[in-house]
């Protein structure tokens, strides 16, 4: 009996491994990917990057321009996250199991948020290109929709997790709906919510770069411009500036997170 139990577990593990291997092999076959060539081309790529992809003295003259674009991207990302958070707070309160007022509104709020969340930010950018053209507004709305969808989900879970029991207690004292929200739900969930907003600001700055490529705005566009002009030295400077920014934002948000939690 017991021997059989362990044999069965082993069989399960083996079959999962087998299935993964088969999927990998089939994909390689279909895409005609040459494993050996793929691996051997890595050193060549590194060599090319080292000989072309670094900032030169002349490229530094473009730094003010790059920083200007970077500022735009940063502000757009932050605005999209914070405005998204305000809407998300509203929808999550109405959509949460703890604080929702009625089942219909609850499911409508949840469905709207799911809709916005499940369409990727890049896909939003492409859809919005039709309405707003190549402008930073497109990027802003794409990030806003994505952040709104994600934050609604995150906030809903935070509310359910952090405040379920105290909401029950405050309802039992006869407190009104708004009092319960402001005296129990908000204080209990706020630090966690701020932490989620910081997380979304970080990811938005990352996606903003990619979205800039699509929408022709911000730092992503700057990178694209110099890259396509074969000005690899300036393009590499853009990459370094982006990497530096992301690292410092992460440092700052980690610091804030530690301070509030």
Partner 1 sequence: MAALLEVNHVSKQFGKDTKALKDVHFSVAEGEFVSIIGPSGAGKSTLLRCINRMVDATSGEIIFDNRNVLDLKKKELKTIRTKIGMVFQHYNLVNRLSVIENALHGKLGNKSALAGVLGLYSIDEKEEAMKILNALGLADLIYKRADQLSGGQKQRVGIARALLQNPRMLLCDEPIASLDPGSAKVIMDHLKNISTNWGITILVNLHQVDVALKYSDRIIGINNGQVVYNGSPKNLTKDDIQLIYGSEAEDLIFDVGGIHAS
In the complex, the residues that contact partner 1 under the rule CB under 8 A are: 163, 165-166, 168-176, 178-184, 187-188, 190-191
Long-range contacts formed by 107-114: CB under 8 A, 24+ apart: 109/152, 110/156, 113/88, 113/148, 113/149, 113/152, 113/153, 113/156, 114/149, 114/153
Which of 43, 185, 173, 21 is closest to 101 using CA atoms? Answer: 185
Beta carbon of residue 11, minimum distance to partner 1 (angstroms, whole number): 39
Q: Which is nearer to partner 1, 43 or 174 (CB)?
A: 174
Count of beta carbons in the 10 Å neighbourhood of residue 176: 10
Q: What residues contact residue 130 under an 8 Å CB cut-off, 6+ apart?
A: none
Beta carbon of residue 158, minimum distance to partner 1 (angstroms, whole number): 13
How many residues does the structure list for the chain? 261
Beta carbon of residue 105, minimum distance to partner 1 (angstroms, whole number): 16
Q: Which is nearer to partner 1, 70 or 180 (CB)?
A: 180
Q: Which is nearer to partner 1, 38 or 187 (CB)?
A: 187
Beta carbon of residue 55, minimum distance to partner 1 (angstroms, whole number): 47
Beta carbon of residue 191, minimum distance to partner 1 (angstroms, whole number): 7
C-beta of residue 112 within 8 angstroms of C-beta of residue 176: no
Beta carbon of residue 46, minimum distance to partner 1 (angstroms, whole number): 50
**Helix, strand, coil shares of the chain as percentages rounded to 5?**
90, 0, 10
Q: Which is nearer to partner 1, 3 or 172 (CB)?
A: 172
Q: How far is CA 79 from the centre of its chain?
A: 14
C-beta of residue 242 within 8 angstroms of C-beta of residue 219: yes
3-state secondary structure 214-244: HHCCHHHHHHHHHHHCCCHHHHHHHHHHHHH
Q: Which is nearer to partner 1, 178 or 230 (CB)?
A: 178
Beta carbon of residue 85, minimum distance to partner 1 (angstroms, whole number): 19
Q: Which is nearer to partner 1, 58 or 168 (CB)?
A: 168
Three-state DSSP at 259 gives: helix
Q: Which is nearer to partner 1, 125 or 181 (CB)?
A: 181
């Amino acid at each position: 009996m017991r021997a059989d139990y362990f044999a069965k577990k082993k069989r399960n593990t083996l079959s999962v491994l087998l299935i993964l291997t088969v999927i990998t092999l089939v994909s390689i076959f279909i895409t005609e990917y040459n494993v050996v060539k793929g691996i051997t081309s890595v050193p060549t790529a590194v060599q090319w990057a080292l000989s072309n992809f670094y900032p030169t003295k002349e490229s530094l003259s473009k730094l003010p321009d790059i920083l200007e674009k970077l500022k735009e991207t940063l502000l757009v990302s932050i605005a999209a996250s914070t405005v998204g958070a305000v809407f998300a707070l509203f929808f999550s309160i109405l959509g949460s199991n703890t604080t929702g007022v009625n089942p219909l509104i609850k499911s409508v709020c949840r469905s709207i948020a799911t809709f916005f969340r499940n369409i990727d930010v890049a896909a939003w950018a492409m859809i919005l290109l039709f309405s707003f053209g190549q402008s930073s507004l497109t990027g802003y709305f794409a990030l806003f929709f994505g952040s709104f969808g994600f934050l609604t989900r995150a906030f809903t879970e935070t509310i359910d997790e952090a405040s379920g029991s105290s909401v029950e207690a405050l309802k039992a004292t006869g407190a009104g709906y708004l009092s319960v929200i402001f005296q129990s739900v908000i204080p209990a969930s706020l630090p966690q919510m701020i932490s989620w907003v910081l997380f979304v600001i970080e990811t938005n700055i990352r996606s903003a770069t990619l979205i800039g490529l699509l929408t022709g705005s911000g730092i992503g566009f700057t990178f694209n411009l110099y890259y396509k002009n074969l000005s690899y030295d300036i393009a590499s400077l853009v990459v370094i500036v982006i990497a530096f920014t992301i690292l410092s934002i992460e440092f700052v948000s980690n610091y804030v997170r530690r301070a509030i939690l």
